[in-house]
């Protein structure tokens, strides 16, 4: 084989390898239900990072009939923004083992943001929110919405 042919084959193999990794990384994309089934979070990609926003709420209105807002946000200016569409997951990177890490998760129920790691396991997504190290945290299992 000529050097040109070997170079072409090498480039093709490398390109195919990165395509396979990108497709595997994007397996997380789509809508996921939290354990109670009351919320759906749409996971999407922006650049090479993964994010998630609240795209369905079983009870979108408060007791007065108005849309729920981010009333527990520590930033007073953000307390009037609607919960629907709120970005809960931010800045996740895919590490190659069905694990997405180095991101954060926001909990609108208490207004706190936690470090977070997500692990894709078939049609389930294990979410681990924590402070400091992963040992000190809480896990939930989300299921894919069909």
Q: What is the pLDDT of residue 133?
A: 80
Q: Which structural domain range is residue 25 located in?
A: 3-144
- What are the residues facing 50 on neighbouring strands? 45, 92
Give the residue carrying structure tokens 């497709």: 23
Give the residue carrying structure tokens 């809480």: 138
List the one residue out of 128, 129, 130 whose CA is nearest residue 119: 128
DSSP 8-state symbol, 85 = T
pTM of the model: 0.82
Q: What is the pLDDT of residue 62?
A: 93
Cα separation, 102 vs 69, whole angstroms: 27
Contacts of 73 (CB under 8 A, 6+ apart): 79, 81, 108, 111
The CATH number of the domain holding residue 22 is: 2.40.128.520
- Give the tokens for residue 111: 């207004």
Tally of domains within the chain: 1
| pLDDT, mean of each 10-residue run, the chain (146 residues) | 51 39 80 96 98 97 96 97 97 96 97 97 96 88 96
């Amino acid at each position: 084989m000529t050097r040109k042919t070997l170079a072409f084959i090498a480039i093709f193999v490398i390109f195919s390898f990165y395509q396979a990794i990108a497709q595997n990384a994007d397996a997380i994309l789509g809508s996921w239900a939290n354990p109670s089934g009351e919320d759906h979070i749409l996971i999407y990609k922006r650049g090479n990072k993964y994010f998630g926003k609240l795209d369905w709420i079983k009870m979108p209105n408060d007791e007065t009939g108005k849309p729920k807002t981010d009333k527990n946000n520590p930033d007073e200016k953000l307390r009037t923004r609607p919960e629907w569409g709120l970005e809960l997951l931010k800045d996740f990177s895919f590490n190659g083992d069905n694990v997405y890490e180095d991101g954060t998760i926001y909990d609108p129920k208490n207004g706190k943001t936690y470090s977070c790691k997500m692990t894709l396991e078939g049609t389930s997504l294990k979410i681990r929110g924590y402070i400091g190290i992963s040992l000190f945290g809480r896990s939930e299992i989300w299921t894919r919405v069909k």
